[in-house]
Structures are given as C-alpha cells and as structure tokens.
Structure 1
Amino acid sequence: MVHRLREYGRVRSAKLSRKTVLISSVTAAFAVVGGGALIAEATSDRGGEPEGDEPVDETTQDPVGELLASMSLEDKVGQLFMVYVHGEAADTADTEAVASNRERLGAENGAAFVAAYRPGGIIYFDWANGLKDPAQIAALSNGLQAASTVPLLIATDQEYGSVVRIGEPATQFPGAMPLGATRDVEAAERAAAIAGAELRAMGVNHNFAPDADVNVDPENPVIGVRSFGSDPGLVADFAAAQVRGYQAGGVAVSAKHFPGHGDTSTDSHLGLPVITHTAEEWERIDAPPFQAAIAAGTDMVMSAHLQFPALDDSLAPATLSRPILTGLLRERLGFTGVVVTDALDMQGVRTGYGDDRVPVLALLAGADLLLMPPDFPLAYEAVLNAVASGELTEERIDESVRRILALKHSRGIVDDPETDEGAAAAVVGSDANRAAADDIADRSVTLLANDGTLPFRAASASGGVLVTGWGEQTTQRLASALAAQGLGVEVLLTGEAPGADAIAAAKGAAAGRDLVVVATRNVRAGSPQADLVAALAGGPAPVVAAAVGTPYDAAHVRGANAVLAAYSYAPASLAALAKVIVGAIAPTGALPVDVPAEGGGVLYPFGHGLGYE
C-alpha cells in the first residue's frame, strides 16, 4: 500500500511493517465507512509481525487523510466519477473503441483516461469491454490498475438471473427471486461468496448488488425477478446475507435502489417513476431491507431515479434530493458509507435537468460517487466550476473523496489492486461453484398448479415432447435439458408475441405429442403468449406452462394442466425445470410474492408451492 501513496510524494517516512500498515489503514477506513465488522482474519495472511524493536511513527495513523491531503482539486473531482470505457484491453487500439472513447471521455483508451483524469472507478459491460473469458477480464483489470495512481474501484452489475454482465464460464446463479423461493438465507450468502471470489479473481472488486427493492407491483418493468420478493422481512434477510457473502468473497457491495424501486410501473431508464407510498408505508415496506443491508455493513447504497412525494414534496428525483439522501439515508438510517447514484445517463434523472447540473445537484443532495454521466468532460468541468463559484465547497468534495478512499482501503483494494491473470480461470466457473448454482436452482423451482400431469414419466412417452414459447436460447436449452432426461424433444420457437400463424404452427406441432411445455416470460392479460397457452390447452396433449421470468405469468396461462415458476432462464434453472418435469427431483420452492388473479384478489399467495405425492 505504501508505494501507492508515495506516488503522491507526501507520505511521511514511517518505518512500518506491511502488517502494521494494513491494520492501521483498515482501522482508519472503518472509522469512516459505516457498518461492518473488522475481521482480524482478513489481515492475518498479509505479512509478519514487526521486525525487532523497530520504532513506529505514531503520526502516520490516517493514510486516507494523508492521501487526501496530497491530492489536487482536479484529482479529487476525478475520484467522484465512475464511468465505462470501450475496449477489451486497457490500452486498446481498436478503431471503434478509440473513437467511442474519444467522443465520450476525451481519451483514446481506458489506460489513457485513468491516467489523465484519475477517476474513482470503472464499470464493465459486456458490450463495451468484451468480457470474453477470465484471463481477458483479469488482464483488462490489471491494465487499468497499472495506469492509475490511486487504485480503482472496478465494478459491474452482476446480479445474476436477468442482469448479468459476465457470462459463462463464470458461474451463472439463478438470481434474487429464485433465491427467495428457496427460503435458504445461508444459500444466498454462500452464492454471493462464490460470486464475489470469482469477480475478484478477474480483478472486479465491486459489485452493484444486492437489489434491496421489495417488489410489490406485479407490473414493475424494471425490478421484478431482480428482487428477492414482496415481503420486506424476506428481502431484508436475503439482502443482508448477500452483503456478507460478497464481502467475504472479496468484493465491495452496493444495496440498491434507495429509497425503494419495487412499486413502480415506470422504468427509470426511460422515464421518471413516482412512488405513491405514504411515509408509513415506506417505513414498513421499503425501508427494512436497506436498514438490514446497512446493519450488515454494505459499502455503498445506490440512489434511485424516482420521485417519492411522501419523502420529499419538492418532487426532485431521489438522486437529487437532500431530504432523501442526507436527511433520510444519512441522518435517520445512520449510513456513513458511500452513496452512489444510479447511472446518470438514465432518463429518470435527466428529466427536467441539464447534464451539467445533474452531477452538481447530486453532490449537493449527498451523493459521493457519480455513475456514468452521459458526457463525462461536461460533468467533470461542471463540478470544478461549481467549486470555483462557491456552489460546492472543497470541504464538501473532501467528504465524498474520503469515503471513497476509505472504502478502497477497507476492502484491500489499495493494498492489493491487481489480480493473478494466470489463476483466474481456475477460480471462475469451477465444478464446485457450478454445483452450488445447480443446487439453488433445483430448490427454487415452484409448482403452482398441477392436475396430476406432473411428474411426467419418460418411460410412458411414445410421442415425445414439444417445447415451444419464448426465447430462442431458452427453448433450445430447455429442450436439451429434457433430452438429457431421456425424452424425445422437438422445439418450435414462437417468441414474445406469437401471431395467428405461429400459434397455428404450434398447434400443428403439438399433434401426437405426449406433452407440451410452453416457456413464458412477461405475460400480461391479453398477451399473445397467453393466447398461445390457451390454444394449446385445447388440444389432446397436456400442457405445462413454465414461467422463466416473474411468476406473475401464472395468472394468465388459462387452461394449462400444470404451472411452474423457475424465475430465471439461466442454464441451471432450465436444467432444474427439466428435472422437476420428469420427477428426477421434487419441486420444493415457495412463492416469494403474491400472484394476483386477473379479476382481482390473490390467485397464489406468498408461500404457495405444491409438491409431489
């Protein structure tokens, strides 16, 4: 760690052993970062005892403060930003990547950008960085860290399930709602620990997870299966478990999206949602998971781009609301860690505000880390100009930078920013890790309705099985999983909105089959997918409807002989579906949400789940 600080030329010449330096830095960091417990084991393998009676310079007790004092205002403002860069390597010369970086960032590649602006962090996306395999990702991470004078937060959104940035060979866990269906908090913590270790092996030291939203709106277009469920207590328990797990695996975490995004019918990527909960409802429904995550020691809390009139009657988006970020999150809930904004290129926060004003207003509200402004040079200059004009003080900037630097110390990022590129492949996607994902998937599948069609016995099948419905990869993978169970399978993709011709083709393909399995996702009343299930249910073969997204599909699949909820189209979940269908395993999942009936009321209540006799 010390050699990193000396790059600023302001560190005193303290003669400390490696272990003493680390312990003092972590202790200083935990004085600033809220929540969490200092784990002695985390320091036990990082060096020996002080040699002999070598004196310790007692003045060097605040390495975060030392580093902060050595930074120029421009250095500090850079630390407030996390952006994405294009390119599969830090020093990419790819023509398209260079052009994109120049346009958005004013630098040719990631290495040049971090050297010039010293940002607090970089966020990875598969479409920007390739993210092809563990060795490539680890090399990208190391290249970025080598170019930076202050080690970077390197982050991604690896929630699993429906939000995945790093695909196979990384272990693909089913996601939040399937975990909620298992009711196994220890499994959630174990999954996060495995996922965290895989991410850190690739040089990714921060994950924007877990999702702490309580999904109480079945029509929610942006959360859904990203939530553990609709019960505040369940979500609180699972969110806290995943905070502990990810941190045990070696990565920092961010509970999101404060003050709660679970009851909205608007996607904040596209518009500005309004949450109509009363203050009492917020206290009862939305707050508990964030309180639990804070108590568990979450490193960050991410703000939501939404209006919450009961919490701030000015109707400023929460990301720009001082009553919400400072009054509620900091002062009332006592969070002293890093507040990170959701992506500032989302329409929800840009509605009514210029891109030059949003970063300044977010800092004034209480945010620390500004994620993905649409025009980084504009945002960077806007913050500098706000300090020059007196709208922001340098002391206010220092508060946020101190929190960010303290986080980097507390998670060992300053001490050990790089990773072993050669070892990454052995850690990521190991057989043991995949087995853990399979076990969670097996225990999450929930049987909602069954007239005796399931389990379907392969030995009695002569006409085979038709797999149809949503998702080209999903239907193919489900068919392969059923074939692995000994069934003859045909696949007919009908898609998200099958028309009359596609439905007729599916009916024709179902003729003579012993079973029809329809994969559904995001079915609503009057949906063409519902029409497909209804049409197939009129035929001679029994129909199994399998929801591979939210279980709310079950309210609309009229006439199906059996209804299953897998909550995910991850390979492990599709394999688990196949095992449940043929009776290789019994369904043991329990609904983590209420499934409402089309005409009102509850069709399948929270906790519902059938088994096999």
Structure 2
Amino acid sequence: MMRAHKLLVVALAVGCAGGQAVGRSGRPVLPMPPSIDSMLAGLSVRQKVAQLVMPRLPGSYSALDDSAFLVAQRWVDSLEVGGIIIFAGSPFDIAAKLNVLQRRSRLPLLVSADLEWGAGMRVVGATTFPQIMAVGATGDPRDAYTIGEAAAVEGRAVGIHVNFAPDADLNNNPLNPIINTRSFGEDPRAVSKLVQAYVRGLRDHGMLATLKHFPGHGDTQADSHIGLPVITAGYAQLDTQELVPFRAGIDAGADVVMSAHIAFPAVTGDSGPATLSAAALTGLLRDSLRFHGVVVTDALDMGAIVTKYGSGEATVRAFLAGADLLLIPADPDSAVNAMTAAVASGRASRERLDASVRRVLEIKRRLGLLEHRTVPLDSIMRVVGAKRYQDAANDLAVRALTLVRDTAGTLRALRAKRSRLALIAYSDEGNATVGFTLADVLRRNGDTVDYFRLWPMSGPASYDSARSVLARAPTVVFASNVKPISSRGNIALPDSLARLITATDSGKPTVMITFGSPYLLNQAPTVKTYLLAWSGARACERAAARALLGYSPISGHLPIRLPPPSAYGVGFGIVIPDSTVPPLPPPVAQP
C-alpha cells in the first residue's frame, strides 16, 4: 500500500510539473495520467471517504491568510476533500480562489455550482438568462440548449465542472414555495424535451449535467430547507408524471442526479427523506431507471435532514441509501469521521466505498482534470458575459413574455401611444433595483413614469405614499418580483399589496406584471391586465418595457396551469404579433 501511495504521488507530481519531456521529433511528450485503479490503490479509507465530501465555498474575494480561506485550505490540505461547491463571486475571484486550491490539492477538485439560469446565477457579470420557466413559455428546446451551452462555456472558464441543473421537477403545485419558476413547467412531455436539450447543451460544451430533485420536488407545499415535505402520491403517479423528465434526462446523457429531501412513504415504505432511502436512490433510481452515473445529495445542512439526524449520521445514511457525493455536510470533519467509522465497523462496505470513489474519479478523468486542473485568468474577459450570450438572453426574454389577460385593452392602449403612468415596484430585500430597468426604458422612449418602491416590511405609511403616487397618474403598472427563496417558506405578495392592486384596478387602467411567480393572479383575481415576464433579470424588465411601448410582439404561452378562480390552462397565451418599432430615420442626402 505504501509503495502504491508513493507511485501515485510521483505520478501526480510529474503531471503537475511545469517542464515537459521531449520526444525524438522535438515535440513535447505529455505524461500519461495515473489510472483510476492506481489512484484507488493509493488512497486510504479516510482519503477515499473524503473524495465523496463536497463542502461549500463562498466565491467572494479573500486573502490567502483570511480565516475563512484558511478553513477551505485545511479542507484541501488535511481533510483532502474531493470537491467544492462554489457560491457567488466575481469571475476573477472565483477562478483565482479555485486555482489556489487546485494547486494545493493532492487530487484534482471536482467543482460544482448551481447555474440553473446560466452562470450569472453564481458568477457576477456572467450571462443571466431568465428563469427556466421562461423556456417553458417559448416551448423551444433550442432555448434550453443555449442556456446549457452558455452555462458550460462561462462556467468552465472560471473553473466550474458540474452544473447542479437542470431542474427536472414538474411544478404541478401552485403553492410550492421553492421550485416555481425554477421548473420548465408541469407537462411531463414538454418538460422532458427541454430537460434533454439543456443536458445536451451542457455536455456538448464540457460540463456535467445534474437532474434534480429526484424523484420530484414539484408537488410540495413545504420548503425542504426548513422541514421535511411529504408527498402522498403512489408509484403510479410518479411513473407517469414526476419520473418522466428524469428518464428523459438520463437518456440524454445526464451524468449526475441529485436527491430530494422529501418523504415519499407510498414509494419508500417509511417517512424518511428520499436522500436517506435505499428504496429511492438504489431501488428506484439505479435499478428501475438504470442510472449508472453519480448520485449527489441535496445539501446535507438543510433543515429536513440535519435537524433530525445530525451531520455525521446524515452523511452515513445518505451513503448507505446510494449517494456518492455528499454535498455541504453541516460539518465536513464530522462527515468524514462518521463515514470512516462506518467503514471500519462494517456498517458500510469497502466495496461500496470503492464503487462510489471510482465513479467520482472517473468523471474527473473524463473532464480532463487529471491533465489540467486550473484555468487561465487572462481568457476570462473573452468568455464570461460575452455579447453572443447576452443577446441570446435578451431574445429569450422577449419571446417568453406571456399575456394572460387584457380584458380592458389597457396594454394595447399603452402600446399605441406614449403615456404618463405610475410604476409601483415590489420585491424582497435581495432585489434592490426591481423596476429600475423597466422605468428607465419607458422614460427613454417617451413615457412619463412616477416610480415608487414597496418592500416586504413596508407599513401603512409607505402604502399611503404609494396611494399618493397612484392618485396623480391616469394609468398604473404594478411590477413584482416574487421568487423562490430558500428558507422563506412561502411565495406570495403581501396581502396589503394584493388589496392595493385590486382596489387600484377597479378605479383606473392597471397592468400587473410579474417578474417571478406566475401564480400571483390568484391574489388579485379581478385585475384586468396580467403579463408574465418570469424573472427579475434586466433582460426581462427590458423586454416587458418594450412590450408596453409596442416595440416587441408578445408570443409566450403558459407552461403551467393557473388554478381557479383564474383557471387558465397549459398552452394559453394572448398573442400580439404586431410590433411598432419606430422606423429607421431616412438616409441623409449625399451632396
């Protein structure tokens, strides 16, 4: 064992050395990377366990001697973790931080991130596409492919290898507080086509795709970041609904599947979460769906798991259920210690451990990480946030706009001439600029806009001020960005705002635009004009402004049902095909 360990160290040192051997032709001869078998043979049980652990790392800048970075450095140097999940930061900060850790790591680190609607979800300055339910509104697999492609190209440029996307859940419960617009929609066949296209967009451009949250998180009313949602549906419903997009994604070549912290008692036979259920991860996923790739847990520090089982025990149970990668344990040291003890006691077999580690090492090999594990910083500005993907995001935002209702013709009237209007914007504290782009585009094109912002904590005085703004304008636009937020537990407008929208609509022309959840119409069911823009991204606000100005057509269709009392079905959408883009100025006469 010691001899194999020394051989592995020598092989990796040669692979990472700056110099290269030169062949008889004078061309450099690249050293052969070590085989998977030799790498496995050179790892102790504890080192193998650590290869499965993937803690969370902020992507923001930190000095090398910063205490938080020293913790991450210890994960790599002493704990010898196999991977990292990176969170938000600038492209250069993320890449530089990962490069430092990659150079320190004995084996290449597998780096993952949630890039559901493009790399902009985690990489500041990267392309931000609309939420993927916007793709459901266009119904075009090419849009899903483009988001996958852009996420892969931009993500790999900063050192990310695995995208924890696409979301393969069917959002078939309007009260779901955590999936919502993260899903392509609720029709299994339509969602399957888009999932497949997204997977191909990632894989064709060098990034691994992850189907989540298995076996389906769409039909829940609770947030698994807080507690344990329970789905009472039996296998018959799963087979014809929730599992359909997962099968499609597996057929398209998805390399990773993420488990859900959700109880499926009719399927698993107990009240525990799927993440800790062998019936779900081994019996259903591996045996029934014949998935042979890597199974990753959802974050093990989430309330549905850690509050009941603790960090170490949750890790062991997830592994025994069939998981390979153990994502964000509440305490990485406890996770490694508990797993190592489980193998030593025979609770977890060495053979099963080797199988999981082999899967992880194999995808590192396929990604080319055994030869090249760092990224060049000087190429980032040519790739991340490039114009072609920004243009694609803007185009998708326009084509995804979905008009559900315009019974009084208010939207058509706004499109016909420039107007004076009040814009009342609402979002959570995380979106300080909601409505800014919308107002700016309207003003620059001739509308007079009085802007007022409401917040979740806004009280009676703020609402009185909003009413004063409303009283001065002949037409009103309410723009809200209500989106899924982990640990929030609900996804809705404040009751006071819903009442204000209803009262305003009863007295003057009103447009309600949602840059988030499409289900808000149920809180203001009598509103006469309802436009869905799907996301708070600037591209979506710009698209909505152009629609109000009459500069863009409106052509999207609902990928979900809006339940009673509204009762609009999948596929519904009022199409306004005309576009009144101002004509180009006449050419200047030549002298």
Normalised to the residue count of structure 1, the TM-score between the two structures is 0.84
2:212 is matched by which residue type in structure 1?
K
The equivalent residue for 1:165 is: 122
1:9-28 superposed matches below 5 A: 9=9
The equivalent residue for 2:97 is: 140
CA distance in 1, matches of 2:355, 2:24: 33
CA distance in 2, matches of 1:462, 1:594: 33
2:105 is matched by which residue type in structure 1?
S
Contact 1:302–1:341, Cα closer than 8 Å, also in 2: yes
The equivalent residue for 1:104 is: none
State which of 408, 413, 422 in structure 1 corresponds to 2:369: 413
Q: Does 1:112 align with 2:74?
A: yes
CA distance in 2, matches of 1:7, 1:464: 73
The equivalent residue for 2:186 is: 230
Q: Does 1:474 align with 2:434?
A: yes
Deviation string for 1:493-512 (max 9, x for gaps)?
12236544433322221224
Contact 2:120–2:129, Cα closer than 8 Å, also in 1: no
Q: Which runs of 5+ in 1 are unaligned?
A: 17-47, 99-107
Contact 1:485–1:578, Cα closer than 8 Å, also in 2: no
CA distance in 1, matches of 2:472, 2:322: 64
The equivalent residue for 2:240 is: 284
CA distance in 2, matches of 1:219, 1:380: 37
Q: Does 1:123 align with 2:85?
A: yes
The equivalent residue for 1:561 is: 528
Contact 2:165–2:211, Cα closer than 8 Å, also in 1: yes
The equivalent residue for 2:66 is: 94
**How has the CA–CA distance of structure 1 residues 238 and 596 changed in structure 2, closer, same or farther, with 3 Å as cutoff?**
same
State which of 369, 380, 383 in structure 2 corresponds to 1:427: 383
The equivalent residue for 1:38 is: none
CA distance in 2, matches of 1:147, 1:448: 54
Contact 1:497–1:529, Cα closer than 8 Å, also in 2: no
Contact 1:156–1:206, Cα closer than 8 Å, also in 2: yes
State which of 37, 45, 67 in structure 2 corresponds to 1:65: 37
SS in 2 for 1:603: coil
Deviation string for 1:576-600 (max 9, x for gaps)?
11111111111111100000124xx
Contact 1:91–1:112, Cα closer than 8 Å, also in 2: no
Shift of 1:50: 12
**How has the CA–CA distance of structure 1 residues 456 and 118 changed in structure 2, closer, same or farther, with 3 Å as cutoff?**
farther
Of 368-377 and 63-72, the range deviating more from structure 2? 63-72
The equivalent residue for 2:572 is: 608
The equivalent residue for 2:507 is: 539
**How has the CA–CA distance of structure 1 residues 67 and 516 changed in structure 2, closer, same or farther, with 3 Å as cutoff?**
same
CA distance in 1, matches of 2:153, 2:92: 15
SS in 2 for 1:466: strand
Contact 1:455–1:582, Cα closer than 8 Å, also in 2: no
The equivalent residue for 2:8 is: 8
Contact 1:533–1:558, Cα closer than 8 Å, also in 2: no
Q: Aligned residues, how many?
A: 553
SS in 2 for 1:604: coil
The equivalent residue for 1:549 is: 516
1:459-608 superposed matches below 5 A: 460-461=417-418, 463-470=420-427, 472-496=432-456, 499-522=459-482, 524=492, 527-540=495-508, 542-598=509-565, 603-608=567-572
Shift of 1:401: 0.2
2:225 is matched by which residue type in structure 1?
H
2:104 is matched by which residue type in structure 1?
A
SS in 1 for 2:420: coil
2:405 is matched by which residue type in structure 1?
A
CA distance in 2, matches of 1:419, 1:526: 45
Q: CA RMSD in A?
A: 2.9
SS in 2 for 1:211: coil
CA distance in 1, matches of 2:571, 2:59: 46
CA distance in 2, matches of 1:79, 1:563: 50
State which of 36, 46, 51 in structure 2 corresponds to 1:79: 51
1:68 is matched by which residue type in structure 2?
L
Deviation string for 1:263-285 (max 9, x for gaps)?
01010000000011111000011
Shift of 1:259: 0.6
Shift of 1:64: 1.6
State which of 295, 298, 310 in structure 2 corresponds to 1:339: 295
The equivalent residue for 2:108 is: 151
Shift of 1:236: 1.2
CA distance in 2, matches of 1:580, 1:211: 29
CA distance in 1, matches of 2:382, 2:120: 24
CA distance in 2, matches of 1:190, 1:564: 24
CA distance in 2, matches of 1:432, 1:86: 28
CA distance in 2, matches of 1:365, 1:224: 28
CA distance in 2, matches of 1:162, 1:203: 12
**How has the CA–CA distance of structure 1 residues 245 and 68 changed in structure 2, closer, same or farther, with 3 Å as cutoff?**
same
Of 241-250 and 383-392, the range deviating more from structure 2? 241-250
SS in 2 for 1:122: strand
The equivalent residue for 1:27 is: none
Shift of 1:49: 13
Contact 2:404–2:572, Cα closer than 8 Å, also in 1: yes
Q: Does 1:304 align with 2:260?
A: yes
CA distance in 1, matches of 2:519, 2:52: 40
**How has the CA–CA distance of structure 1 residues 301 and 259 changed in structure 2, closer, same or farther, with 3 Å as cutoff?**
same
**How has the CA–CA distance of structure 1 residues 525 and 574 changed in structure 2, closer, same or farther, with 3 Å as cutoff?**
closer
Shift of 1:363: 1.0
SS in 2 for 1:448: strand
Shift of 1:538: 3.2
CA distance in 2, matches of 1:458, 1:258: 44
Contact 1:498–1:532, Cα closer than 8 Å, also in 2: no
Shift of 1:92: 2.4
**How has the CA–CA distance of structure 1 residues 67 and 80 changed in structure 2, closer, same or farther, with 3 Å as cutoff?**
same
SS in 1 for 2:511: strand
Deviation string for 1:320-362 (max 9, x for gaps)?
1001100000011000110000000001123432322111111
Shift of 1:176: 1.1
CA distance in 1, matches of 2:126, 2:416: 35
Contact 2:157–2:379, Cα closer than 8 Å, also in 1: yes
CA distance in 2, matches of 1:74, 1:526: 50
CA distance in 2, matches of 1:525, 1:467: 13
CA distance in 2, matches of 1:610, 1:162: 32
Contact 1:590–1:606, Cα closer than 8 Å, also in 2: yes
Q: Does 1:365 align with 2:337?
A: no
SS in 1 for 2:329: coil
1:335 is matched by which residue type in structure 2?
F
Contact 2:225–2:303, Cα closer than 8 Å, also in 1: yes
Q: Which runs of 5+ in 2 are unaligned?
A: 16-21, 483-490, 579-591
The equivalent residue for 1:329 is: 285
**How has the CA–CA distance of structure 1 residues 461 and 86 changed in structure 2, closer, same or farther, with 3 Å as cutoff?**
closer
Contact 2:505–2:527, Cα closer than 8 Å, also in 1: yes
Of 231-240 and 460-469, the range deviating more from structure 2? 460-469
1:124 is matched by which residue type in structure 2?
I
CA distance in 2, matches of 1:225, 1:71: 43
2:308 is matched by which residue type in structure 1?
G
1:30-69 superposed matches below 5 A: 63-69=35-41
2:448 is matched by which residue type in structure 1?
G
